[in-house]
Amino acid sequence: MSMDDISTREDIKFLVDHFYQKLLKDETIGFIFRDYMSMDLEDHLPIMYQFWESALLGIPSYRGNPMVKHIELNRKISLNENHFDVWIKQWEETIDTHFQGSKADEAKKKAIAMKEIMLLKIQMSSKKGFIQ
């Protein structure tokens, strides 16, 4: 069976919605989303649609700063590489279940790059003189 690539905002919404359904149920990191992120999915998901729409489709709709959000979250609960690895695994599984193509591959590569930079910034944020 051939699957389509990620190509529209509707594809992004579908991907993000299914991804968050998996995250909330995940035994390793679901509690972070349920207990430590004072987020209402109704408010959070549109931000994630904008983020991935900007990252993958080049539509400049996202205006936030994901690094600051993750550094703040790390102050509530220590985020580690395992948390990000599970996030990546769930992201890739969600993509592979529903999409294939160059944008799907790009979405996986961008997530891995984000993991690396977020881990670095989180680690640096605990050092004296850290500047965002």
Angle between helices 81-98 and 9-25 (to 10 degrees): 130
What the chain holds in terms of domains, given with CATH numbers, is 9-125 (1.10.490.10)
DSSP per-residue codes, 42-69: HHHHHHHHHHHHHHHH--------HHHH
Render pLDDT for 29-70 as a digit per residue (tens, 0 to 9).
999 888 877 667 778 889 999 999 999 999 998 888 888 888
User: What amino acid occupies position 88?
Assistant: I
Render pLDDT for 12-21 as a digit per residue (tens, 0 to 9).
999 999 999 9
